[in-house]
Amino acid sequence: MRTFSTFLIILIFSSSSALAGRWYVNDNSTVGDVFTSAVGSDLNNGSAAAPFATLTYALTQYSAGDTIYVDAGNYIENDVIIPADLTLRGAKFGVAAGPLAAPVTRGTNESVLNFSVSFGPSLINTTVDGFTILMGTKSLGISARGLNSKVINNIIRAVTTPFTNQFGIATRQNGPARIHSFLIKNNIVTGPRFGIYFDGSSLYDLPSEISYNYVSGTFTAGFVVAGSRGHTYRANVAQNNITGMRISESGNIIEQNSFLNNALHGIRLAATDETFSNQILNNFFIQNGTGIALTEDVPAAQNNEAHFNSFSQNTNNITSTNSATFNAKCNYYGTITQSEIAAKISGNVDYINFLIDGTDVDPATPGFQTLEACNILPVKLVYFKGIWNDKYPNLTWRTDYELNNREFIIERSYNGRNFESAGVIAGNINSSIPVNYAFSDVSVSSSFNGVYYRLRQIDLDGAFSYSAIIYLKNKNSKNFEIYPNPTTGNINIKFNGGGKYSYKIISAYGRIVTSANLREGISSVNLKGLQSGTYFIKVTNAEGKSETGPIVVQ
């Protein structure tokens, strides 16, 4: 009887942390701790009263959806990979590290990790919040991937190793192929070769936000925009880097940032076939080698624009080697003297009308704000958004004014890269008052999980520009999801209906290509041997109810 009672007590005690969904880690000191009241040991049960000693061990115990609290202290372990969906909190979780205008001081009692943290494959809702990571000469501080991935309120410090790839915070899109989205906010990164490196794939990355981060002392670039498109970089500070930001992708909004004392460039638009339709708005460029540089002459690198930015004390304000005209109207160039403005601008740059007043009229808002009227031809788009209702996507947008605006072409994409026309809405030609527009895409295939849209605005003379890309998720209730679609290899089937189910993949001629019986969850199906074309997947639940949808193999 004693043996049974003892066993029962141990069982309840060891299960208590798992039942709560919370695990705790503490080092061999309780000085400055905020989560726990005991010295950690990996022989403990991981509760607040009996924490583990290492994050490495905690990652072998938790379940998807749990939270691990790592208390203040110094942790020296091997690099870790998060194997499932998780919230990882340090002692400073919820406390911003990144700037409003400069990095903040968070005081003492940090949770210091002397190793890198990487997100494993197929993650959803994973967060790393409130750590200091001393990456030294390692290649990575934090490497994130997955849907709804958050890297917030962290400090990452590196020992610079020139010409060796080092990434303070990196986003990656590597196997298995799946949808990704990110929030990278309120972080400080100092010292690596690349500060925040936004990599990935335009096939699978949803529009994401990189905001309120401070990056300094990088050997190559503070921010790198590569691999995927359509993201927003807002209210960041890039200071004392070789280059503040390097952009080689399209459709990004770069707004309300500060680029300070970067040796070569504040922003470098490294022209490729993918470097088009970037919007650079309401930023400060101060004491850089060149404020904005367009390098390389690539014909596809068009429709990049910069407006309502403030340039001061740069060696050059804007330089361009691209044959496409760079629209840099309505910026303040530190002076109203035409000859002084022209002396710091070179290449095919349209910089008239320039602002005559460099006063920031809204200092509380990050970036350069002005009330001075200045016309950016031909259309000022206030917003572009949409929602997928019970039947099909509905898009709305508003213009503040229009000049020679012939029409809007609404363009649709199922992969974020290859766009087709979904419809045309006539413009108002000339308008000095706000105009609202709406479009319902009744012809879109409802079998897809989501659709990308952008606007192509066309002038009377045929010139055009693109809006930012938005993504609308299909809110129709379905028992299964397939992604990526289109695909070049594997697809993932996510069955939401519970219990067992079966699927069949059928060719356009009605032949069953492959089939299997599976259980609820996510399963991968190899389609690499199939010829390009359209196939159909039929999913049947245990009650015999079926749903069918198309798959495009590229």
Identify the domain boundary among 453, 473, 493. Answer: 473
Distance CA 503, CA 495 (A): 10
Stretch 67-79: mean pLDDT, rounded?
97
Q: Structural domain of residue 60, as residue ranges?
A: 1-77
Cβ proximity of 282 and 372 under 8 Å: no
Given the structure tokens 């209702």, which residue do they identify? Answer: 389
Tens-digit pLDDT profile for residues 420-464: 899 999 998 887 788 999 999 988 866 566 788 999 898 887 878
Residue of 184, 183, 189, 127 lying closest to 155 (CA atoms) = 189
400/465 same-domain check: yes
- Burial code of 351-360, b = ≥16 C-beta within 10 A, e = fewer? beebbeebeb
Compute, in degrees rounded to 10, the torsion defined by CA atoms 425, 427, 433, 436: 0
- Looking at residue 389, which CATH number applies to its domain? 2.60.40.10
Residue 291 located in a structural domain: no
Give yes or no: residues 429 and 459 share one domain. yes
pLDDT score at 177? 61
Element housing 13 (H / E) = helix 2-20
Task: Report the percentage of the chain scoring pLDDT > 70.
Answer: 87
**Does some domain include residue 539?**
yes
pLDDT at 475 over 90: no
Residue 23 located in a structural domain = yes
| Same-domain pairing of 484 and 534 | yes
Amino acid symbol at 456:
R
333 falls within a domain = no
The winner for highest mean pLDDT among 66-80, 150-164, 349-363 is 66-80
172-228 per-position pLDDT tens digit = 755 556 678 899 999 999 999 999 999 877 667 788 999 999 999 999 999 999 988
Residue type, 318: I
Q: Which residue has the tokens 């993201």?
A: 231
Q: How many CA atoms lie within 13 A of 387 on its CB side?
A: 2
**68 CB neighbour count, 10 Å cutoff:** 21
**End residue of a domain, out of 58, 77, 96:** 77
Q: Is 321 inside any structural domain?
A: no
Over 50: is that where the pLDDT of 269 sits?
yes
Q: Are residues 19 and 52 in the same domain?
A: yes
For residue 536, being part of any structural domain is answered with yes
Would you say residue 547 lies in a domain? yes
Q: Are residues 464 and 488 in the same domain?
A: no
Q: Specify the pLDDT at position 14.
A: 39
The total number of structural domains that make up the chain:
3
In this structure, of 195-204, 230-239, 295-304, 506-515, the range with the lowest mean pLDDT score is: 506-515
Tell me: do 465 and 489 sit in the same domain.
no
Specify whether 419 is located in the same domain as 454: yes
Which two three-digit tokens encode residue 362? 């809204």
Residues 8-54 have pLDDT tens digits of 333 333 334 444 489 999 999 998 999 998 999 999 999 999 999 99
Q: What pLDDT is recorded for position 8?
A: 35
Structure tokens at 139: 């290649």
Query: Has residue 100 been placed in a domain?
Result: no
CB 176 within 8 A of CB 524: yes
| Per-residue pLDDT band at 392 (split at 50, 70, 90) | confident
pTM here is 0.71
Query: In this model, does residue 257 exceed pLDDT 90?
Result: yes
User: What pLDDT sits at residue 203?
Assistant: 65
Residues 406 and 442 in one domain: yes
Contacts of 169 (CB under 8 A, 6+ apart): 141, 142, 143, 144, 151, 154, 156, 184, 187, 189, 195, 196, 197
Domain end, chosen from 22, 52, 77, is at 77
What is d(CA 301, CA 276) in angstroms, rounded to the nearest whole number? 5
Residue 495 sits in a domain whose CATH number is 2.60.40.1220
Output Rg (C-alpha) for the chain, integer angstroms: 26
Rounded to 5 degrees, what are φ and ψ at 258?
-120, 130
Pair (410, 487) in one structural domain: no
State the Cα–Cα distance between residues 273 and 250, nearest whole angstrom.
Answer: 9
